[in-house]
Amino acid sequence: MNRPLLSLPLVLVMALWGGLGLSQGVRSMGMAGLVLPGPSAAYLNPAYAAYPSGPYGSDAGFQLPIGWLGLLLRPESNPLPALGGLSNLTNENSPFDLLTFYDQFSHPYEFLINPASSRAFINPATGFPEIRINIDATGIQITDYQGNPINLELGLGTPVGVGSSKALTPGPLFRIPFSLGDNLHLDFGLFAGGFGLGLSPNDNLRQALRSGQLQPNTEYALNLNGSAQAGISVGFGYATRLPDLPIPDLGTARLYAGTRGEAFYGLAYLEGNGSVGVQTDAQGQFDPNQPPVYRGSVFYTIPSNGFGFGVRADIGVVMEANGATLGLGIRNALGFARWSGTELRWDGTSSNPISAQSERSSFGFVPAFFLNAATQLPLEVGALIIGGDLGYESSWFGRIGGEYSLGPARVRAGLGFDNGFRLGLGAGFVGPGFTIDTALTTHRAPILGNTVFGIALSLGLGF
Amino acid sequence: MSRLALIALIFLLAGCSAATRYNINFNILSFIPQSQRTLSIPSGSGSVLFPGANQEGLLVPLPVRLDILERGQILVVATLTNTGSSTFSGNYELRLAPESDTNVNDNNGGDFGLGASSFSVPVGESRVITINLTLSDTENKNALDMIKGGTFRVAIRVGVSSSGGTLTLDQGRIAVVGRPFAIVN
User: How many CB pairs below 8 Å do chains A and B form together?
Assistant: 138
* Interchain CB distance below 8 Å, B18 and A135: no
Virtual CA dihedral for A167, A171, A175, A177, nearest 10 degrees?
60
Predicted pLDDT at A93? 83
Please say if the pLDDT value at position A158 is more than 60.
no
By CA distance, what is B21's nearest residue in A? A130
Rounded to whole angstroms, how far apart are CA atoms A75 and A89? 10
* Interchain CB distance below 8 Å, B18 and A154: no
* Reported ipTM exceeds the 0.85 cut: no
Mutate which of B17, B24, B25 to test chain A, going by most A C-beta atoms within 10 A? Answer: B17
- Could you say which of A128, A209, A277 has the minimum Cβ distance to residue B19? A128
| Mean pLDDT for the stretch of residues A1-17 | 50
Q: Give A-chain residues touching B1 at CB under 8 angstroms.
A: 135, 137, 140, 285-286, 288
Predicted pLDDT at A225? 78
Which residues are paired to A423 by β-bridges? A415
| Mean pLDDT for the stretch of residues A288-313 | 85
Rounded to whole angstroms, how far apart are CA atoms A370 and A332? 11
What is the DSSP pairing of strand A251-279 with strand A293-301? antiparallel
By CA distance, what is A89's nearest residue in B? B18
Between A142 and A196, the higher pLDDT residue: A142
Between A244 and B9, the higher pLDDT residue: A244
How crowded is residue B179: how many other Cβ atoms within 10 Å of its Cβ? 21
By CA distance, what is A205's nearest residue in B? B4
| Mean pLDDT for the stretch of residues B45-72 | 77
In this predicted model, what pLDDT tens digit does every residue of B94-132 receive, in sequence order? 999 998 898 998 999 899 999 899 999 999 999 999 999
Q: Report residue A112's pLDDT band, with 50, 70 and 90 as the boundaries.
A: very high
**Secondary structure percentages of chain B, helix, strand, coil, to 5:** 20, 50, 30
* Interchain CB distance below 8 Å, A131 and B7: no
State the DSSP code for A5: H
Would you call A447 an interface residue with chain B, using a CB distance cutoff of 8 Å? Answer: yes
By CA distance, what is B185's nearest residue in A? A87
Would you call A338 an interface residue with chain B, using a CB distance cutoff of 8 Å? Answer: no
State the DSSP code for A382: S
Predicted pLDDT at B14? 46
| Mean pLDDT for the stretch of residues B132-156 | 88
Q: Give A-chain residues touching B17 at CB under 8 angstroms.
A: 76, 95-100, 117-119, 129
| Mean pLDDT for the stretch of residues B154-161 | 88
Q: Report residue A9's pLDDT band, with 50, 70 and 90 as the boundaries.
A: low
* Interchain CB distance below 8 Å, A286 and B4: yes
Rg, C-alpha atoms of chain B: 18
* Interchain CB distance below 8 Å, B3 and A446: no
pLDDT over 70 percentage in chain B: 85
Predicted pLDDT at A388? 97
State the DSSP code for A394: S
Would you call A289 an interface residue with chain B, using a CB distance cutoff of 8 Å? Answer: no
Mutate which of B6, B10, B11, B25 to test chain A, going by most A C-beta atoms within 10 A? Answer: B11
In this predicted model, what pLDDT tens digit does every residue of A318-362 receive, in sequence order? 999 988 999 999 998 888 889 999 999 988 887 788 999 999 888
Would you call A75 an interface residue with chain B, using a CB distance cutoff of 8 Å? Answer: no
By CA distance, what is B26's nearest residue in A? A135
**Chain B residues whose C-beta sits inside 8 Å of any chain A C-beta:** 1-5, 7-9, 11-27, 30-31, 59, 61, 151, 179, 181-185
Distance from CA of B6 to the nearest CA of A (A): 11
The CATH topology of domain B20-179 is Jelly Rolls (2.60.120)
Q: Please answer whether residues A317 and A333 qualify as being in contact, where contact means their C-beta atoms are separated by less than 8 angstroms.
A: no
By CA distance, what is A286's nearest residue in B? B1
Give first-to-last CA distance, chain B, whole Å: 27
Q: Give A-chain residues touching B15 at CB under 8 angstroms.
A: 98-99, 118, 121, 131, 150, 447
* Interchain CB distance below 8 Å, B21 and A128: yes
User: Out of A21-25, A94-98, A227-231, which region has the weakest mean confidence (pLDDT)?
Assistant: A21-25
Distance from CA of B173 to the nearest CA of A (A): 10
Predicted pLDDT at B9? 45
Virtual CA dihedral for B55, B56, B57, B61, nearest 10 degrees?
180
* Interchain CB distance below 8 Å, A145 and B23: yes
By CA distance, what is B22's nearest residue in A? A131
Would you call A82 an interface residue with chain B, using a CB distance cutoff of 8 Å? Answer: no
Q: Please answer whether residues B160 and B90 qualify as being in contact, where contact means their C-beta atoms are separated by less than 8 angstroms.
A: yes
The residue type found at A313 is A
Distance from CA of A85 to the nearest CA of B (A): 9
Q: Report residue A243's pLDDT band, with 50, 70 and 90 as the boundaries.
A: very high
CA distances from A229 to A11, A218, A308 (A): 8, 35, 10
What is the DSSP pairing of strand B21-27 with strand A128-136? parallel
Predicted pLDDT at B4? 47
Please say if the pLDDT value at position A2 is more than 50.
no
Predicted pLDDT at B2? 43
* Interchain CB distance below 8 Å, B7 and A276: yes
- Could you say which of B1, B12, B181 has the minimum Cβ distance to residue A90? B181
| Mean pLDDT for the stretch of residues A159-168 | 53
Predicted pLDDT at A176? 80
Predicted pLDDT at B3? 46
For residue A122, what are the contacts with CB-CB under 8 A and spacing of at least 6?
Answer: A128, A129, A130
Q: Is A76 exposed, middle or buried (0-12, 13-18, 19+ CB in 10 A)?
A: buried
Q: Please answer whether residues A48 and A258 qualify as being in contact, where contact means their C-beta atoms are separated by less than 8 angstroms.
A: yes
Which residues are paired to A178 by β-bridges? A186
Q: Report residue A3's pLDDT band, with 50, 70 and 90 as the boundaries.
A: very low
* Interchain CB distance below 8 Å, A222 and B7: yes
* Interchain CB distance below 8 Å, B27 and A137: yes
Rounded to whole angstroms, how far apart are CA atoms A286 and B154? 19
What is the DSSP pairing of strand A184-201 with strand A219-247? antiparallel
Number of alpha helices (DSSP H) and beta strands (DSSP E) in chain B: 2, 10
In this predicted model, what pLDDT tens digit does every residue of A63-76 receive, in sequence order? 888 998 999 999 99
Under DSSP, is residue A73 helix (H, G, I), strand (E, B) or coil?
Answer: helix
Would you call A149 an interface residue with chain B, using a CB distance cutoff of 8 Å? Answer: no
State the DSSP code for A97: B
B51 preceded by a cis bond (ω within 30 of 0): yes
Please say if the pLDDT value at position A427 is more than 60.
yes
Please say if the pLDDT value at position A12 is more than 70.
no
Distance from CA of B78 to the nearest CA of A (A): 19
